[in-house]
Amino acid sequence: MRLFLALVPPPGLRERLGQLADAAHARCGGRRMPDESLHLTLAFLGEVSEAQATELVEWVGRLAVPPGEWRLDAWGHFHRPGIVWVGGQASDPALTALHGRLWEALEGRRFAGRPARYVPHVTLLRRARRFEPARLPAPALRWRYNRLHLIQSLSDDRGSRYVSLARSR
For 69-80, how does the pLDDT look when each residue is reduced to its tens digit (9 = 90+)? 999 999 999 998
Distance between CA 37 and CA 9 in Å, rounded? Answer: 10
Task: Tell me which amino acid residue 136 is.
Answer: L
Strand (E) or helix (H) holding 18: helix 11-28
Fold of the 2-167 domain? Cyclic Phosphodiesterase; Chain: A, (3.90.1140)
pLDDT value of residue 86: 98
Q: Per-residue pLDDT for 102 more than 80?
A: yes
Among residues 45, 47, 40, 70, which one has the least CA distance to residue 59? 45
Q: Tell me the pLDDT tens digit for each residue of 19-46.
A: 999 999 999 999 999 999 999 999 999 9
How many residues are given for the chain? 169
Domain boundaries of the chain, sorted by first residue = 2-167
Task: Tell me which amino acid residue 1 is.
Answer: M
Q: Per-residue pLDDT for 156 more than 90?
A: no
- Mind giving me the DSSP string for 37-55? G--EEEEEEEE--HHHHHH
- Mind giving me the DSSP string for 92-151? -HHHHHHHHHHHHHHHHTT-----SS---EEEEEES-S---GGGSPPP-EEEEE---EEE
What percentage of the chain reaches a pLDDT higher than 90? 93
The β-bridge partners of 75 are 86
